[in-house]
Structure 1
Amino acid sequence: SVRAVVPVMEGGKVIAIVSAGETVTNVVASLAPRIPFVIGAAALLVIVGSAGAFVARRFVSRVTGAMRPSELSRMVSYYESVLHSVREGLILADDSGRIVLYNDEAAELLDLPPAAGDAQPVEVSELGLPPTIAALIEGGGRAVEESHIAGHRVLVLNQEPATPPGGSSRRPVGTLMTLRDRTEVQRLSGELESVRTLSDALRSQTHEYANRLHTVVSLLELGRTKDAIDLIAQQVELSQSLADDVVGAINEPALAALLLGKAAQASERGVELRLDIDEHLAPSALGPSDLVSVVGNLVDNAMDAAAGGSAPPWVRVTLTTNDALDCLELTVADSGRGVEHAIDDRIFSRGFSTKPADATGRGFGLAVVRQVLENHGGSIELLQASGTEFRARWPVAKKVGS
């Protein structure tokens, strides 16, 4: 039997004992009907728990790619290392156009705060990105090797849909943008363009003087010495007059040489080049290379337009000091057909041109000019006129430090 004995106390003394008991046979008889229920409930709990564990494991396996916690931890560490070590800026945005993460290089290129590992998605408008880059991220469109200005930097951007592993049939989760700094390359490209412009001008000048020299030699061989002397005197007077006007007004030898060369180039192409330069121009904030790039590209475009326009073709170059705005002002006009209103906003875009492409490509001159000017606090605009007229402004040298 199973018994329990309890003493009865009074005044601290045991006055009686109560004993109760039950035989084992009766206990077994009472519990026997309940055993199947207990076993069934336990079995059901085991089955439900096993099913729940199986479903949970399938879900976790699908989410984590069947990787164990240690493997997940190692993978996250590797990905973080790659993300912050790569020398290209990376920006991942979700399908709502919010920025999910970016690496250290992107933060440096776009002047963003350091990326936090547990940061929540951020609206693009909260980060102060350049308008063109912000619009590209929010739009979620595809971009291939697009150039954008971010402060003083020139960035080349690519953007593609961010698709999870498993094939292109899976729905993209957002977009991935890569950024590369091309400021130094662009600077070298501008210098190369400046050298090319100068070399073309010098080539035209050499060709012009070669023609005159051949004429003088022929006159001497024919015994017409006086005519040869008169031709030399006339050409020297014209050249010296132009050189005196240009060199006397411009205190930058490279720019003076460029304009003299362009005068010879214009004469070779049958275009009248009119130069109107203020005496004693203020010093320019642009360096020699940038000056040659800006003036050379604008004059080249103007001569191309004038040559294809109505006769007589002409190009007018005006360079003055704007005392009211404390800047230098360059105006380049031509007798060409002008620019259609429909493309006014596109002519400064990289790669856009109204002229057929050649071996070196087209559509970079005006883009380079605008970039150079904006990098130095200047500007350029298209003025509506009978032909084409551009006006460029940039600070004088004393504004460099301010």
Structure 2
Amino acid sequence: MRLQTKLMAGIFVLVLLIGLGFEATFKEMMEDNLKESKGHQALAIAKAVANMPEIQKAFLLPQPSTVIQPIAEQIRKQVDAEFIVVGNRQEIRYSHPNAKRIGKKMMGGDNKAVFKGKAIISESVGTLGPSLRGKAPILNDKNEVIGVVSVGFLQIDIQKEIKRLQGKIFLYTSLLLVGGLVAAILISFNIKKAIFGLEPREIAWMYQEKHAILESIHEGIIAIDADGDITVVNETAHKILGVPNDILLRGKPIEDVIKHTHLLQVVQTGLAEYDREFLIEGEVFVVNRIPIFDKRQQVIGAVASLRKKSELSKITQELSNVKAYAEGLRAQTHEYSNKLYTLLGLIQLGSNQEAIDFISKEVNVTQGFLHFITQEIGDPILAGFILGKVSLAHEMRIEFEIDPDSSFVDIPRSINRDSIVTIVGNLINNAFDAVKENIDREKKVTLFLTDLGRDLIIEVEDNGNGISTGNEERIFQRGFSTKGGQSNAGIGLSLVQESLEGLDGYLTLSSEEGVGTVFTVVIPKKEGL
């Protein structure tokens, strides 16, 4: 059974039970109240009649009924009672709605207490049928009981009144049930709409799915509502905040858990914030803060994702290395395609000897260079990377030299090779960009690597235009560039700095405008680690 049907059926059954209970309870209360009211009314009338001087004096007459009957009948009609019977101590009637029964004995057998001076309410069966009676004693001047007044309402009349009121109750109950059914339909539709038409099992599955997704990602996720109370926090966020998983953070104000998150500002402004740096326990995190909107586009909360800046830097480094590899392979392919076209042309011209000499020259140069790289650059990734840069330089018509005194074999295992590639690659790319601006003079870049001593030294020199005064510090800031708005500019040297921080190294530069720039990197080997 669908949720909407269950809600409608459940609410209707609940209203039905309430209506039936209301009807039964009200009927019982109404019946009791009506009997009690009629009983007290009958008793009050009986007392009033018993205290009338005319009634008391009539008992001294030879024919009391001649006085009492007219008075009793007049009062009976006025109060709409079924009967008013006045009798003496012998229970002989002096009045009755049926005049033929005057002079006969009263029926019911409930006068004993009255003759003792008590006024009572009783239910008994008389000549007119079952009735509810009020009885009061008639006293003489000596305060002696000389008679009794009995005022009654028939039970059948009371039942008619109850049935008449019960009809109204049934009408009201029916209206209540109809209203309950309408309310059930409206409530079920509103609830269905509020939960986007989902069934409980689907909501439970989505909750489990969301929990699994939150726990599977490596970023810390924290969400708050419009009041700033935490609604979602995953396991990674617990670790970032240093809070054990068994401590419940949901429901706590965000500012009590972590200060200055700016999530409340996002809720207030409705503006997202991307790639903002945030310090937690001395460690830098990159944070994205996004507002949460409802279907009316009103902000109902905000969510933040946190990730260590060092992890993002590592990914950026790896992407930079991949890009550099791809550029190197493309350059090599292009260079060797040109050489193959040259050989094809020499062969077609019949210049076989020139073709042989060209091949021999290329083989000797290539083998010599490969031998140098293989012997002096111990890491194959770095060696292949430099070869790719050599081919790229040829394509860009840049004279790229590797100092023949270079040696880079003694690299401790504790030093990350990817970081070395990132440093060398970005320094070479920066030098290539610098010399591309040379128009009237040669474009030259020199790489020097050495592992002698206690440090690894990397030196990249170019004969570009140099760095203008005042920009020596700014060039290491992420986003700053002198390349005139090129895509991805202003990142390379900042990556070099971040890599050096992880290696406890440092970088120096020497630049002269119009002459060129020399970047020198020093990385301690950390012997004994």
TM-score scaled by structure 2?
Answer: 0.44
CA distance in 1, matches of 2:460, 2:376: 17
Return closer, same or farther for 1:280/1:351 CA change in 2, 3 Å cut-off.
Answer: closer
Q: 1:9-51 CA deviation, whole Å, 9 max, x = no partner?
A: xxxxxxxxxxxxxxxxxxxxxxxxxxxxxxxxxxxxxxxxxxx
Match of 1:296 among 399, 422, 425: 425
Separation in structure 2 between the aligned mates of residue 151 and residue 278 of structure 1, nearest angstrom: 42
**Could you say which residue in structure 1 is the equivalent of 2:137?**
none
Q: Match of 2:466, SS?
A: coil
- Matched with 1:163 is none
Cα pair distance change 1:151/1:271, threshold 3 Å? farther
Quickly say closer, same or farther: Cα 1:292–1:79, change in 2 above 3 A: same
1:379 counterpart (506, 512, 518): 506
Residues in 2 aligned to 1:151 and 1:222: alpha-carbon distance in whole angstroms: 73
* Change beyond 3 A, Cα 1:381–1:267: same
- Residues in 2 aligned to 1:316 and 1:295: alpha-carbon distance in whole angstroms: 12
CA-to-aligned-CA distance 1:101-145 (integer Å, 9 cap, x gap):
xx973568xxxxxxxx9xxx9xx9xxxxxxxxxxxxxxxxxx963
Does 1:348 find its partner at 2:476? Answer: yes
Kept in 2: contact 1:347–1:353 (CA 8 A): yes
Pick from 385, 393, 418 the counterpart of residue 266 of structure 1.
393
Q: Give the Cα–Cα distance (whole angstroms) in 2 for the partners of residues 217 and 333 of structure 1.
A: 37
Q: 1:214 aligns with which of 338, 341, 349?
A: 341
Aligned counterparts, 1:110-189, within 5 A? 145-147=275-277, 155-156=285-286, 180-189=307-316
Contact 1:275 1:318 in 2 (8 A): yes
2-side partners of 1:258 and 1:295: how far apart?
9
What letter corresponds to residue 328 of structure 1 in structure 2?
L
Tell me, yes or no, if the aligned pair for 2:407 and 2:451 is still in contact at 8 Å. Answer: no
Q: 1:367 to 1:104 in 2, by over 3 A?
A: same
Aligned amino acid, residue 105 of structure 1: I
Aligned length: 265
- How far residue 295 of structure 1 moved from its aligned partner, in angstroms, is 0.8
Identify if the C-alpha distance between structure 1 residues 264 and 300 changes in structure 2 by more than 3 Å, giving closer, same or farther.
same
Is structure 2 residue 389 aligned with structure 1 residue 389?
no
Instruction: State how far apart, in whole Å, the 2-side matches of 1:296 and 1:151 are.
Output: 33
Quote how far apart the aligned CAs of 1:251 are: 0.5
Q: C-alpha distance in 2, partners of 1:243/1:148?
A: 47
Relative distance call for 1:380 and 1:155 in structure 2 (3 A) is farther
Letter in 1 for 2:445: V
**1:201 aligned residue:** 328
Change (3 A) 1:228 1:152: farther
Shift of 1:80: 6.6
The structure-2 alpha-carbon separation of the partners of 1:363 and 1:309, relative to structure 1 and needing over 3 Å to count, comes to: same
Is the CA contact 1:373–1:394 (under 8 Å) kept in the aligned structure 2? yes
Whole-angstrom CA distance in 2 between matches of 1:87 and 1:354 = 43
* Equivalent residue, structure 1, for 2:197: none
1:71-101 deviations in Å (ceiling 9; x for gaps): xxxx99x967559x36798xxxxxxxxxxxx
* Aligned counterparts of 2:377 and 2:418: Cα–Cα separation in 1: 15
Superposed CA RMSD = 3.7
How many angstroms does 1:206 deviate by? 1.2
Please state whether the residue corresponding to 1:342 is helix, strand or coil.
coil
1:287 aligns with 2:422: no
Q: Give the corresponding residue for 2:147.
A: none
8 Å contact kept, 1:88–1:180: no
What code does the residue aligned with 2:338 have?
Answer: N
Deviation for aligned residue 1:358: 3.8
Which residue of the other structure, out of 483, 492, 495, is the alignment partner of 1:368?
Answer: 495
- 1:155 deviates by 2.4
Counterparts of 2:437 and 2:228, CA distance in 1: 57
Amino acid of the structure 1 residue aligned with 2:469: H
2:459 equivalent in structure 1: 331
| Alpha-carbon distance change, 151 to 86 in structure 1, aligned in 2, over 3 angstroms | closer
* CA pair 293-149 structure 1, distance change in 2 beyond 3 A: farther
Runs of at least 5 residues in structure 1 that lack an aligned partner in the other structure: 1-74, 90-102, 109-116, 125-142, 160-176
Amino acid at match of 1:312: E
- In the alignment, which of 299, 305, 315 is matched to residue 445 of structure 2? 315
Report the secondary structure of 2:394's partner residue: helix
TM-score of the two chains, using structure 1 as the length reference? 0.57
**Would the alpha carbon gap of residues 264 and 309 (structure 1) be closer, same or farther in structure 2, given more than 3 Å must change?**
same
Counterpart in 1 of 2:380? 253
- What is the CA–CA distance in structure 1 between the aligned matches of 2:279 and 2:523, rounded to whole Å? 18
TM superposition shift of 1:380: 1.8
Residue 318 of structure 2 is matched in structure 1 by: 191
Q: Report SS of the residue matched to 2:451.
A: strand
The residue type paired with residue 341 of structure 2 is H
Q: Does structure 1 retain, via aligned residues, the 8 Å contact 2:411–2:451? A: no
Give yes or no for contact 1:198–1:258 (8 Å, CA) kept in 2: yes
Contact 1:274 1:316 in 2 (8 A): yes
Alpha-carbon distance in structure 2 between the residues aligned to 1:207 and 1:345: 37
SS in 2 for 1:297: helix
Letter in 2 for 1:256: A
**Structure 2 stretches of 5 or more lacking a match?**
1-223, 244-251, 260-272, 290-303
Equivalent-residue separation in structure 2 for 1:300 and 1:229 (angstroms): 35
CA contact (8 A) 1:242 1:260 kept: no
- Structure 1 residues 104, 188: CA separation in 2 closer, same or farther (over 3 Å shift)? closer
Return the alpha-carbon distance in structure 1 between the equivalents of residues 451 and 278 of structure 2.
Answer: 31
- Secondary structure class of the residue paired with 2:508: strand
Secondary structure class of the residue paired with 1:298: helix
Q: Work out which of the two has the higher radius of gyration on C-alpha atoms and give 1 or 2.
A: 2
Q: Give per-residue Cα distances to partners, 1:154-194, cap 9 Å, x unaligned.
A: 522579xxxxxxxxxxxxxxxxx996423323212211110
Residue of structure 1 in register with 2:363 after alignment = 236
How far residue 259 of structure 1 moved from its aligned partner, in angstroms, is 1.3
